[in-house]
């Protein structure tokens, strides 16, 4: 097992040789802190499981790609019960390639073009792209600064829902990019609105395992089991973006029936590597996860202490993304451009996150202390040198 010093022991020299998107797409000399991949090596349990598979049976797996089948159904249900006291039904679980595919399947089966989908904005850009591509107009729920954190105006949402045409609440909890973990009270208000307006709730909880104390993750399905589709995967918390495997739990009986009526191969099939890696992460990876969570909790504070004056940062409740507000520095709509040019660091651009993204950039702080310090120093020097 690795320990925290291994996680801190990353050098720029070794990181720049990586061939994944995060490092290979950054210009030479630019430190990447954009896409939501962590720099840490993956959990030993995951590596062992994949090595076992390589040396073992690579034939067709002994399960069918349908609701309730495959090892992930039981493993997911056991994990939800153990971590959150949610008794998910393994018979209602199936795997997909990734979260976006699962979302598109749900929207395809449960809604029609023109049906609106409510979601907090700014948000994970591929969801906005999915809604645009599928002709499901977004009904934006603006995230607003509330003290040191973020919230939203539930009365304004209720008024927009009363106008009709909204069929789905697409909840991202913990939220990306703000890192907000919604409280039980906030989720209860959303649940009441979903009941009142007959909404299907699709709850993306992919960042839940990275919720920092004292915040606590509440699975939405514990509030509205029969209206909620839960989407998750091990890819964020266990740094496995390339394994292409996600899990969906279908609470609504009518949706399960509608899914079953579709041609069987329309949903694709999970790869045995993805399934093995996810099972290993969820059953034997928690020691590694606790170490990573400790580094991330420390890094949240390092970011707070290392930014120059004029950059506003609300410490996230969860995950490793810092949603930085550069509006006071008047760097234009897209401060990430300035940061790449002048600071030689690559953050995610704010505008693709939708309304509220202008003047912001998202910093990924899932790296070693020294690399993070270098990123923060570069930002500070670039900002200071222009004033």
Ligand X SMILES: Cc1ncc(COP(=O)(O)O)c(C=O)c1O
Q: Tell me whether residue 204 or residue 286 sits nearer to ligand X (CB atom).
A: 204
Helix (H) or strand (E) segment spanning residue 232: strand 228-232
> Nearest distance from residue 172's CB to ligand X, in Å?
5
> Nearest distance from residue 244's CB to ligand X, in Å?
7
Site map (CB under 6 A) of ligand X, residues 105-144, x = contact: -------------------x--------------------
- Residue 291, preceding bond cis, omega within 30 degrees? no
232 binds ligand X (CB under 6 A): no
**What residues contact 15, with CB distance under 8 A and at least 6 apart?**
23, 39, 367, 371
Q: Tell me whether residue 178 or residue 246 sits nearer to ligand X (CB atom).
A: 246
Binding residues for ligand X, how many (CB under 6 A)? 12
Sheet harboring 246-250: ordered strands across? 93-96, 246-250, 228-232, 200-204, 166-172, 116-121, 138-142
Helix 99-110 and helix 253-260, axial crossing angle in degrees, nearest 10: 90
> Nearest distance from residue 385's CB to ligand X, in Å?
32
**CA proximity to 20, closest of 34, 9, 5, 6:** 34
> Nearest distance from residue 384's CB to ligand X, in Å?
31
172 binds ligand X (CB under 6 A): yes
Site map (CB under 6 A) of ligand X, residues 174-203, x = contact: --x---------------------------
CB 94 within 8 A of CB 267: yes
Among the listed residues 68, 71, 151, 241, the single contact to ligand X using CB under 6 A = 241
CB 226 within 8 A of CB 218: no
> Nearest distance from residue 57's CB to ligand X, in Å?
25
Among the listed residues 233, 239, 364, 368, the single contact to ligand X using CB under 6 A = 233
> Nearest distance from residue 238's CB to ligand X, in Å?
10
The H-assigned helical ranges of the chain are 4-8, 12-15, 21-24, 44-54, 71-84, 99-110, 125-134, 154-162, 184-196, 253-260, 272-284, 286-306, 335-338, 369-386
Among the listed residues 36, 43, 121, 248, the single contact to ligand X using CB under 6 A = 36
> Nearest distance from residue 165's CB to ligand X, in Å?
25
d(CA 114, CA 241): 31
For 57, 59, 69, 272, 292, the CA distances from 62, given in Å and listed in that order, are 11, 9, 10, 10, 33
Interface positions, 301-340, toward ligand X (CB under 6 A) = none
Site map (CB under 6 A) of ligand X, residues 87-106, x = contact: -----------xx-------
Which stretch in 45-53, 139-147, 233-241, 324-332 sits in contact with ligand X by CB under 6 A? Answer: 233-241
CB 208 within 8 A of CB 179: no
> Nearest distance from residue 204's CB to ligand X, in Å?
5
Residue written as token pair 């039904």:
89
Q: Tell me whether residue 222 or residue 232 sits nearer to ligand X (CB atom).
A: 232
Report the interface residues with ligand X, using CB under 6 A.
Answer: 36, 98-99, 124, 172, 176, 204, 206, 233, 235, 241, 246
């Amino acid at each position: 097992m690795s320990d925290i010093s291994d996680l801190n022991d990353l050098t720029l020299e070794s990181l720049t040789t990586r061939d994944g998107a995060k490092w290979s797409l950054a210009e030479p000399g630019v430190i990447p802190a954009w896409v939501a991949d962590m720099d840490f090596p993956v959990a030993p349990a995951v590596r062992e499981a994949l090595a076992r598979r390589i040396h073992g049976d690579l034939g067709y797996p002994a399960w069918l790609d349908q609701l309730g089948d495959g090892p992930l159904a039981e493993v997911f249900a056991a994990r939800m019960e153990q971590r959150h006291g949610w008794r998910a039904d393994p018979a209602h679980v199936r795997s997909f390639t990734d979260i976006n595919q699962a979302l598109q399947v749900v929207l395809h089966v449960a809604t029609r073009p023109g049906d609106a989908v409510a979601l907090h904005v700014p948000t994970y850009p591929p969801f906005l792209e999915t809604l645009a591509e599928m002709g499901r107009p977004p009904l934006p729920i603006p995230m607003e600064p509330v003290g040191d954190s973020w919230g939203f105006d539930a009365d304004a949402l209720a008024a927009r829902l009363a106008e009709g045409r909204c069929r789905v609440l697409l909840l991202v909890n913990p939220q990306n990019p703000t890192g907000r973990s919604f409280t039980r009270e906030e989720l209860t208000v959303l649940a009441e609105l979903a009941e009142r307006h007959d909404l299907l709730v699709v709850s993306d909880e992919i960042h839940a395992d990275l919720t920092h104390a004292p915040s606590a993750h509440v699975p939405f399905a514990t509030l509205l089991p029969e209206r909620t589709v839960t989407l998750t995967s091990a890819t964020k918390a266990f740094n496995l973006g390339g394994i292409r495997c996600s899990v969906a739990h279908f609470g609504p009986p009518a949706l399960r029936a509608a899914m079953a009526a579709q041609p069987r191969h329309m949903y694709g099939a999970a790869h045995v590597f993805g399934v093995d890696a996810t099972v290993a992460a969820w059953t034997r990876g928690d020691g590694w996860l606790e170490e990573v969570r400790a580094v991330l909790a420390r890094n949240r504070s390092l970011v707070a202490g290392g930014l120059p004056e004029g950059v506003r940062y609300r410490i996230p409740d969860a995950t490793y993304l810092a949603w930085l507000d550069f509006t006071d520095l008047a760097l234009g709509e897209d401060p990430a451009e300035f940061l790449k040019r002048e600071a030689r660091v690559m953050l995610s651009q704010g505008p693709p996150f939708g309304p509220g993204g202008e003047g912001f950039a998202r910093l990924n702080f899932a790296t070693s202390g020294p690399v993070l310090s270098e990123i923060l120093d570069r930002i500070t020097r670039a900002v200071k040198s222009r004033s």
